[in-house]
Chains A and B, each alone.
Chain A
């Protein structure tokens, strides 16, 4: 039959794919090969597939960050243990048409409006877990029994988790609500408990989780709300299909057909099919064209409800890059955007409470023409009532993208007036997009950020507040200073910017911010008077570093806060006297700045005959070229008659040993992270680490990677 078929036309793409994989039977392959002998197009398709495999296998991919091994070894040494899921059980069951399995259940409960649909394909097999629960409408408590001979059998407790969904929403991820209940053991491998789903639930997916966060795949069951006639409600079916699509489970063709049969006139249903086609690559050029034609019709049509969904689908497809983003024709996006705006105009007067949410969904297509469309959306929002928090987010974001300082201020005012607690989030948005502002920022914007800092400063948690709360607040505070620093820098006030950033670092809760000190010190190295700033930056870095090591990395053996303070104070006094004094740091000769963006900055070059010690800290080698940099430094130092010693916190692999083989180069390493960290407890040992920086510092910034900052300290060993 295939042979006859192929005489007339080209084999389908899936036939060619099977041929390329050697998956066709001998006779089938012979038939297709006969076609290929005469058809250049098909031959090229198969050649492409074979070639693709070779090219894929030749991909080298990125190398793991250098810090990975130290982190692994450190975690093991600190006693950390993790359980790897190495079972052969499928992570989720093959998707079945839910109505096939649900039909008997529906028949049993024909008098109730809802029922449970079981997806326990395989759960009845011997040796696998099973989850059983009563059949009750959502909103009422029901009993749960979970039996497992597997991973959780020895556990002291388990949790049943239901991810619940109400009205179908194409922005699926934001619509779920998690409900959970503890199950207690009742004999070997059996757990029981009870729970209730929110009464608005139309669809829920259950899983069983162990105390350490593992989930039992056999516990995956679903709840589907039904109509009085036993058929699933639209919301239930749509939620089910989208859940499957998002979880990578291929939705059953039967379920999709059921959606079309029952709800084919619902535009959401068609758009959901479109979504599934996009997700699973079912849409070829022809069907895509049809999809987009219908999408455009929806967008331009009078059915404003579908315009909303169409806008959401376009935005969603563009965001996730399903298929080729270029396949979505810009005119369609524009058309949907226009229709979406029409929808907003329609909705705004009668449903002011929805305006914010509507605008949030419509903004992506609207951004195709931000000045006019956004202004109108904003006007509608202002005229018709309270927006949602998301609308503030989007509006501020859009204002930041436009770089309009006045618009930014306006939206900061509106947002903070509506929610005084939003300052931290406003700071997040500013920090994320402030770079969009080109040229000197308007002075009122700087004032506005200063105002945010003042306001936020008043919200500082009490000293007695939990450390986490204080830490989170400090992070938000530091971020606002950072934003202000960026704006000051843009306006040419470098010193004020440095001061502000030092304050940012001073307020930073963890080491996450002391990387910024590297940048600051580099900037400060330019003017001579920057040395004073530099000294303070180093001091702050030291504090942050010690605190980070003490408070964050040694969680397994927490120290009392008083001990932390004592250690920091002692160490600070120690190094303030010996390391960070301006006298010790101020160079005797002119500051040597070789390059700001390239190789290095060096204070007080080490004299001939001395030894330079480089401390190689893997965590900062984000580009993985730290050893290459050090090799260059070794060569340069050797040419100047200077010996080099390298202390590294990484495993001594071949690359590292080759580095040490260079003339005049020697080194040692510490790979036991826990031992290294424990040393930090011992203040005298701090000297050993910190004395690495008595006379100068070397910073390296990778030429191509802005985020790469390899930090190494330089020391002249005396005697």
Chain B
């Protein structure tokens, strides 16, 4: 078995996941405050931004907040989009940053909430709980989940992840390794019942 630099081989996106790039004129209209153009961009890119925000925050309501903030701010934020890369990648990067901001805000306001879900319901915790991948991803600590989403799903480089998270690239690699290890423990192997 021989593995090359897998990162280079990853499809950055396929037709299903990568929405069409909006025309420059459409973006100009968005920047000018045209709501129909904003709706058009949302229709093509909103779902993906939402999915990314959901995967980072692990919460539907947080993801909705992130996407709303993102698109409400988009007309003004477009001034910083220099058109050097794809709009989709830039928007995803913005969504990721916004989701991180949201995540940190949420962490800071975290208190000892009394969520009955975590209470032992009178029965022992199963020794090894097998869950699906989506649930397992949501169960990772935020710090690990963010890295695995950025790297394995979004295809960001470790340097890019490091810049966004304010950690070193080595720490990003280390977190990815830990995340994979935890996912390995959490999810059922492919094809398992």
Q: Residues of A with Cβ closer than 8 Å to B?
A: 13-14, 17-23, 29, 33, 36-37, 43, 45-46, 48-53, 55-57, 59-65, 68-69, 71-73, 75-77, 80-86, 88, 90-95, 163, 171, 173-174, 217, 246-250, 279-282, 284, 318-326, 328-330, 333, 364, 367-368, 370, 393-394, 397, 401, 432-433, 651, 653, 671-672
Contact present for A319 and B73 (CB under 8 Å): no
Residues of B within 8 A of A319 (CB): 115, 118
Contact present for B129 and A326 (CB under 8 Å): yes
**Bound: A132/B127 CA distance, A:** 51
**Bound: A83/B180 CA distance, A:** 35
Contact present for A72 and B68 (CB under 8 Å): yes
**Bound: A298/B166 CA distance, A:** 36
Contact present for B166 and A249 (CB under 8 Å): yes
Contact present for A68 and B127 (CB under 8 Å): no
Residues of B within 8 A of A330 (CB): 124-125
Contact present for B69 and A29 (CB under 8 Å): no
Instruction: Tell me the minimal C-beta distance from A173 to chain B in angstroms.
Output: 5
Residue of A whose beta carbon sits closest to that of B75: A76
**Bound: A81/B77 CA distance, A:** 11
Given A17-B176, A75-B68; A63-B118 close (CB under 8 Å): no
**Bound: A394/B42 CA distance, A:** 44
Residues of A within 8 A of B60 (CB): 62, 65
Contact present for A56 and B137 (CB under 8 Å): yes
Contact present for B163 and A90 (CB under 8 Å): yes
Given A85-B97, A318-B118; A57-B168 close (CB under 8 Å): no
**Bound: A106/B8 CA distance, A:** 48
Residues of B within 8 A of A333 (CB): 120, 125
Of B43, B74, B143, the contact of A653 (CB 8 Å cutoff): B43
Contact present for A86 and B6 (CB under 8 Å): no
Given A248-B143, A280-B143; A55-B69 close (CB under 8 Å): no
Residue of A whose beta carbon sits closest to that of B53: A64
Q: Is B178 an interface residue (CB 8 A)?
A: yes
Contact present for A248 and B142 (CB under 8 Å): yes
Of A61, A81, A83, A326, the contact of B126 (CB 8 Å cutoff): A326
Given A73-B39, A94-B167, A173-B112; A37-B173 close (CB under 8 Å): no
Contact present for A85 and B177 (CB under 8 Å): no
Contact present for B178 and A280 (CB under 8 Å): yes
**Bound: A81/B76 CA distance, A:** 8
Residues of A within 8 A of B10 (CB): 53, 57
Residues of A within 8 A of B97 (CB): 84-86, 91
Contact present for B68 and A323 (CB under 8 Å): no
**Bound: A217/B166 CA distance, A:** 10
Given A81-B76, A319-B118, A326-B129; A68-B152 close (CB under 8 Å): no
Residue of B whose beta carbon sits closest to that of A333: B120
Residues of A within 8 A of B6 (CB): 20-22, 50, 53
Of A17, A21, A174, the contact of B112 (CB 8 Å cutoff): A174
Most chain A CB inside 10 Å of its own CB: which residue of B8, B42, B168, B182: B42
Give the 8 A-B residue pairs with the shortest CB-CB distance, closest first: A22-B5, A90-B166, A281-B178, A61-B51, A84-B73, A64-B50, A330-B124, A17-B177
Contact present for A22 and B133 (CB under 8 Å): no
Given A61-B54, A72-B72, A247-B107; A94-B4 close (CB under 8 Å): no
Given A69-B46, A72-B72, A248-B143; A323-B119 close (CB under 8 Å): no
Residues of A within 8 A of B146 (CB): 248
Q: Which of B99-126 contact A (CB under 8 A)?
A: 100-101, 103-104, 107-108, 110-112, 114-116, 118-120, 122, 124-126
Known: A57-B153, A91-B97, A247-B108. 17 other contacts (CB 8 A): A45-B184, A46-B1, A53-B10, A57-B17, A64-B64, A68-B64, A69-B39, A76-B72, A84-B70, A91-B104, A246-B110, A279-B143, A319-B118, A328-B125, A367-B119, A368-B120, A370-B122
Would you mind naming 16 contact pairs between A and B with Cβ atoms under 8 Å apart? A22-B8, A48-B180, A50-B3, A50-B6, A51-B190, A57-B17, A60-B51, A62-B51, A62-B63, A64-B46, A69-B39, A72-B38, A82-B73, A86-B94, A364-B118, A364-B119
Residue of B whose beta carbon sits closest to that of A23: B173
Residue of B whose beta carbon sits closest to that of A47: B1
Contact present for B185 and A324 (CB under 8 Å): yes
Residue of B whose beta carbon sits closest to that of A65: B64
Given A20-B6, A86-B80, A324-B185; A64-B70 close (CB under 8 Å): no
Residues of B within 8 A of A45 (CB): 184
Instruction: Tell me the minimal C-beta distance from B5 to chain A in angstroms.
Output: 3
Residues of B within 8 A of A85 (CB): 97-98, 101
Contact present for B72 and A80 (CB under 8 Å): yes
Residue of B whose beta carbon sits closest to that of A369: B122
Residues of A within 8 A of B38 (CB): 72-73, 76
**Bound: A13/B180 CA distance, A:** 10
**Bound: A93/B165 CA distance, A:** 9
Given A56-B148, A59-B153, A333-B120; A22-B182 close (CB under 8 Å): no
Contact present for B125 and A69 (CB under 8 Å): no
- What does the 1/0 interface line of B153-166 toward A look like (CB < 8 Å)? 10000100001111
- What does the 1/0 interface line of B140-151 toward A look like (CB < 8 Å)? 011110101101
Q: Which of B22-45 contact A (CB under 8 A)?
A: 33, 35, 38-39, 42-43
Contact present for A83 and B54 (CB under 8 Å): no
Instruction: Tell me the minimal C-beta distance from B125 to chain A in angstroms.
Output: 5
Given A93-B166, A367-B119, A671-B39; A84-B76 close (CB under 8 Å): yes
Given A82-B72, A318-B118; A91-B166 close (CB under 8 Å): yes
Given A247-B107, A319-B115; A72-B55 close (CB under 8 Å): no
Residue of A whose beta carbon sits closest to that of B77: A84
Instruction: Tell me the minimal C-beta distance from B12 to chain A in angstroms.
Output: 10
Most chain A CB inside 10 Å of its own CB: which residue of B17, B73, B76, B134: B73
Of B3, B35, B111, the contact of A19 (CB 8 Å cutoff): B3
Residues of B within 8 A of A52 (CB): 133, 152, 180, 183-184
Contact present for A248 and B68 (CB under 8 Å): no
Instruction: Tell me the minimal C-beta distance from B176 to chain A in angstroms.
Output: 7
Given A22-B6, A72-B72, A94-B167; A59-B134 close (CB under 8 Å): yes
Contact present for B184 and A48 (CB under 8 Å): yes
Residue of A whose beta carbon sits closest to that of B50: A64
Q: Is B174 an interface residue (CB 8 A)?
A: yes
Residues of A within 8 A of B1 (CB): 33, 36-37, 43, 46
Residue of B whose beta carbon sits closest to that of A178: B108
Contact present for B179 and A281 (CB under 8 Å): yes
Contact present for B141 and A76 (CB under 8 Å): no
